[in-house]
Structure 1
Amino acid sequence: MKLLCAIDFSESTIDLIKSAEKLGTHCNATLVLAHVMPPDENEIEFQPIIEAHFKPRKKYYTEPDSTEKGDSVPILHNRKYQLLQTITEWLKEKGISSEISIVHGNEVDGIIEQAAKHETDMILLGSHGHKALYQLLIGSVCEGVLRKAAIPVVIVPKGNTKKNVAPPAQD
């Protein structure tokens, strides 16, 4: 089984990766960690929440499919690749096989195309928990993927990995 895990590096990424790890373990699946960089994304964002959680290694990578050599790979692209590589190493420590894919373009179309390219059986997305008015005015990547996907789509709600605490026993 192969699962596409669409990573957007938001706060919901940790919940998404934790859920993908559980599902990947139970299904003995390979995870494809896909990030679609929108055409207008041109600033480097530091992601302290994600980086602290997955304990980044001090290694540097360049994307294997890149035509650029060495340090000439665009820094934003390389930075996203490093974060995905860190998550891949964390998954490997958990016994889960994973691959990395970074593409540029429309997020919905990019996710659908990567799912087809890697022949995945399911798409996992993280929910940002936006309100109905935001969804109405802006729309969402989740909604777009749900409409276009030819395979099952799982939406992981924000805060999904918090421990459930059982209520105290009644006497």
Structure 2
Amino acid sequence: MNTVLALIDFSDVSSRVLDHAKSLAKAFDSEVVLMHVVPPEPLVVDFEPPAVPPDVFDARQKELSIMRNDLIEQGVHASAEVHGGPLQETLLEQIGSIDPDVIVMGSHGHGSLYHLIVGSVTEGIIRNAQRPVVIIPSVPAPQMRAVKVTQAEAPAEDVGLGVPLPA
């Protein structure tokens, strides 16, 4: 594995996306490419395509550079790219250009109605990227702990199962 592409959206899940990408890169001595896409401002009443706000673009470039520098300080080969345009289209175009071995991205877990109306960038990447995609959920999995049940605490059929229970 040579290239891990980490799609960063600067949401709560981005730090975990970065951690997973870093772990993969260290395990396989790969480069991490950090990527963020700044979507255009919503179209109001105009027939021109909407523009990407330059102040947002510059701010995201600075933030992504900080993340890249942190990875480099930790011994990970890293680069950072910020692009402007429609999210899914731009991401798929850049994925084709970079040709990563794996893509790491977050999922926000919106409901079915949201997906029906707005769609899902994550789903679009999974369906169209033609690369393995690691999805990091917005809500971490609950921590589990093993519990040993003794005869005195439970009915005979449950004894000794050691079933993991939420902490």
Instruction: Tell whether the structures are fold-level matches, with TM greater than 0.5.
Output: yes
Aligned length: 138
| CA distance in structure 1 between the partners assigned to 2:30 and 2:4 by the alignment | 7
Question: Any residues of structure 2 matched to 1:1-171 within 5 Å, and which?
Answer: 1-40=2-41, 74-160=54-140, 164=143, 166-167=145-146
TM-score (norm 1): 0.72
Give the match's secondary structure for 2:36: strand
1:102-134 alpha-carbon deviations (Å, 9 max, x no partner): 111111121112122222112111011112221
Rate the CA distance shift 1:158–1:82 in 2: closer, same or farther, 3 A.
same
Could you tell me which runs of 5 or more consecutive residues in structure 1 were left unpaired when the two chains were aligned.
42-73
| CA distance in structure 2 between the partners assigned to 1:135 and 1:152 by the alignment | 22
Rate the CA distance shift 1:169–1:84 in 2: closer, same or farther, 3 A.
farther
What letter is aligned with 1:122? V
What letter is aligned with 2:68? T
| CA distance in structure 1 between the partners assigned to 2:149 and 2:31 by the alignment | 44
| CA distance in structure 1 between the partners assigned to 2:146 and 2:111 by the alignment | 29
Q: Any conservation in 2 of the 1:15–1:159 contact (CA below 8 Å)?
A: no
1:32 offset after TM fit, Å?
0.8
Quick check: which has more Rg, 1 or 2? 2
| CA distance in structure 2 between the partners assigned to 1:84 and 1:30 by the alignment | 15
Give the match's secondary structure for 1:15: helix
1:75 offset after TM fit, Å?
2.9
Rate the CA distance shift 1:169–1:90 in 2: closer, same or farther, 3 A.
farther
TM-score (norm 2): 0.74
More strand by share: 2
Q: Any conservation in 1 of the 2:4–2:32 contact (CA below 8 Å)?
A: yes
| CA distance in structure 1 between the partners assigned to 2:101 and 2:64 by the alignment | 21
Between the aligned residues of both structures, percent identity stands at 31
The runs of at least 4 aligned residues of structure 1 exceeding 2 Å deviation read 162-171
1:15-49 alpha-carbon deviations (Å, 9 max, x no partner): 211111112211211111111111117xxxxxxxx
Q: Any conservation in 2 of the 1:126–1:158 contact (CA below 8 Å)?
A: yes
Q: Any conservation in 1 of the 2:35–2:81 contact (CA below 8 Å)?
A: yes
Could you tell me which runs of 5 or more consecutive residues in structure 2 were left unpaired when the two chains were aligned.
43-53, 151-167
Greater RCO (Cα-Cα under 8 Å, separation 6 or more) = 1
